Amino acid sequence: MEKLYEIKFHPEALKEFCNLDGSVKILVKKQLEKLQKSPYLGEELGNKNGYDLSGYRKMYVNKKQIRIVYSIKDEILVINVISIGKREDMDVYANASKRV
């Protein structure tokens, strides 16, 4: 039987998700559903413009306009979403860096 990872949101990431436009929210939800089955689909993040996000991954949404930054806890089958947002001015990575 296929193991599904549980998606957990950082409180601020949940606010970011809730504030997305309806159509974008649906696209983010679809990507999160893919991650539940295959958490390693996203690209590894390392040092992003001075933000050390080693151990975290990013998943693109909406033609790379939106990014989901997350970590994986294999031992308990959990994906922790720490930031969702646009890449503009590296905000999504700055927010993620503050939350780790």
Kind of pairing, strands 6-9 and 78-86?
parallel
87 among known catalytic residues: yes
37 among known catalytic residues: no
Q: Is the distance from CB of 96 to CB of 51 less than 8 angstroms?
A: yes
Alpha helices in the chain (DSSP H): 11-18, 22-37, 91-99
Centre a 10 Å sphere on the Cβ of residue 21 and count the other Cβ atoms it contains: 9
Catalytic pick from 8, 25, 29, 58?
58
Catalytic pick from 73, 87, 98, 99?
87
Give the catalytic positions in this structure.
58, 87
